[in-house]
């Protein structure tokens, strides 16, 4: 973790927690962090609830001045019109979302989203001043055939070519084989691919942009492995799925600087 880049811990709830459950969850997380004397400036926390929860989460965060950013798990590549079931970046911005996840491997697999679609969605995010968290990652088969970095680098290159060096974006390296499997990449594996992704950003958008860009790791992140991941120089945070649904586990992940020396 480089000191210049503020670490980002992002909780991807996927299709879990309805709007009432989301309110209870966010309240409990706020209390847990307050009890733990969490200092907001050290780590940025962002929550990614389902679309139907966003208004409730926004209202609660604003009313209680909770130290959380929030965003959506997807957006349309279009701004408005005849796109039944899709959600515009305009609507997300109106709900004060800061971020939006694009190209998650579950969207790529369940909705056949290819790199061109992910690039168009990233552009849509930027158009509405949302920071896209661009997800890339190799399957177990890709890993076997090409090694770890080739596919994520190709996926990211296609998105970067559609963006500008001045655009604000975050990258999430999420090996598909590590998502929900309980088998996280080792800190060295995660760092090697993050370094290759940073090098790709340097090639396409220049070294200044590469140095400033946060690269997250995602895939079976837990309180027990976050500290060792965050010790690596190119890992600037985590995109957390399953463990972000458990208040005490997620609040412990957010407080990784406290246990960074216990685990390596």
Catalytic sites, residue numbers: 104, 174
Q: Residue 65 carries which DSSP code?
A: T
Residue 240 interacting with ligand PGA (CB under 6 A)? yes
Q: Name residues contacting ligand PGA, limited to 149-178 (CB under 6 A).
A: 174
Question: Beta strand pairing status for 170-173 and 131-136?
Answer: parallel
Residue 136 interacting with ligand PGA (CB under 6 A)? no
Stated as kind and residue range, the H or E segment containing 171 is strand 170-173
For residue 80, the minimal CB distance to ligand PGA (Å) is: 28
Cβ closest to ligand PGA, residue 16 vs residue 27: 16
Q: Which stretch binds ligand PGA (CB under 6 A): 85-93, 118-126, 226-234, 238-246?
A: 238-246
Residue 12 interacting with ligand PGA (CB under 6 A)? yes
CA angle 55, 122, 16 (to 5 degrees): 40
Q: Name residues contacting ligand PGA, limited to 177-216 (CB under 6 A).
A: 179-180
Q: Which stretch binds ligand PGA (CB under 6 A): 140-148, 191-199, 217-225, 247-255?
A: 217-225
Residue 130 interacting with ligand PGA (CB under 6 A)? no
What is the rounded distance in angstroms from the CA atom of residue 227 to the CA atom of residue 264?
7
Residue 252 interacting with ligand PGA (CB under 6 A)? no
Choose which of 30, 175, 219, 237 interacts with ligand PGA (CB under 6 A).
219
Choose which of 71, 103, 175, 218 interacts with ligand PGA (CB under 6 A).
218
What is the rounded distance in angstroms from the CA atom of residue 242 to the CA atom of residue 182?
10
Backbone angles phi, psi at 211, to 5 degrees: -65, -30
Q: Which stretch binds ligand PGA (CB under 6 A): 79-87, 119-127, 196-204, 233-241?
A: 233-241
What is the rounded distance in angstroms from the CA atom of residue 190 to the CA atom of residue 196?
10
What is the rounded distance in angstroms from the CA atom of residue 184 to the CA atom of residue 96?
32
Residue 220 interacting with ligand PGA (CB under 6 A)? yes
Choose which of 242, 251, 255, 256 interacts with ligand PGA (CB under 6 A).
242
Contact present, 138 and 150 (Cβ < 8 Å) = yes
Stated as kind and residue range, the H or E segment containing 136 is strand 131-136
Cβ closest to ligand PGA, residue 89 vs residue 137: 137
- Within the chain, residue ranges assigned H as helices are 19-35, 54-64, 89-94, 105-110, 115-127, 140-146, 150-162, 187-205, 207-212, 223-230, 247-254, 256-259
State the burial class of residue 179 (Cβ atoms within 10 Å of its Cβ: 0-12, 13-18, 19+).
buried
Residues that contact ligand PGA, how many (by CB under 6 A): 13
**3-state DSSP assignment of residue 11:** strand
For residue 174, the minimal CB distance to ligand PGA (Å) is: 6
Question: Which stretches of the chain bind ligand PGA, using CB under 6 A?
Answer: 12, 174, 179-180, 218-221, 239-243
């Amino acid at each position: 973790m480089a000191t210049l880049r503020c670490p980002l811990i992002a909780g991807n709830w996927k299709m879990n927690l309805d709007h009432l459950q989301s309110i209870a969850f966010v309240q409990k997380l706020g209390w847990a962090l307050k009890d733990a004397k969490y200092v907001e400036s050290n780590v940025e926390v962002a929550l990614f609830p389902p679309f139907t929860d966003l208004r409730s989460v926004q209202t609660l965060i604003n009313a209680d001045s909770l130290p959380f950013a929030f965003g959506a798990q997807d957006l349309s590549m279009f701004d408005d019109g005849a796109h039944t079931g899709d959600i515009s970046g305009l609507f997300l911005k109106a709900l004060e979302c800061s971020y939006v996840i694009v190209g998650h491997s579950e969207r790529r697999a369940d909705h056949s989203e290819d790199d061109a679609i992910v690039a168009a969605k990233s552009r849509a995010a930027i158009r509405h001043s949302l920071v896209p968290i661009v997800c890339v990652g190799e399957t177990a088969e890709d890993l076997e055939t090409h090694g770890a970095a080739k596919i994520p680098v190709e996926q990211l290159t296609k998105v970067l070519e559609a963006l500008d060096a001045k655009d604000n974006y975050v990258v999430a390296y999420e090996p598909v084989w590590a998502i929900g499997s309980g088998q996280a990449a080792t800190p060295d594996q995660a760092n090697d691919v993050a370094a290759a992704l940073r090098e790709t950003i340097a090639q396409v958008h220049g070294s200044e942009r590469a140095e400033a860009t946060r690269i997250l790791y995602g895939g079976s992140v837990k309180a027990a492995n976050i500290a060792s991941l965050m010790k690596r120089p190119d890992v600037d945070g985590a995109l957390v799925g399953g463990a972000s649904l458990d208040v005490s586990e997620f609040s412990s992940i957010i407080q990784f600087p406290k246990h960074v020396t216990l685990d390596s």
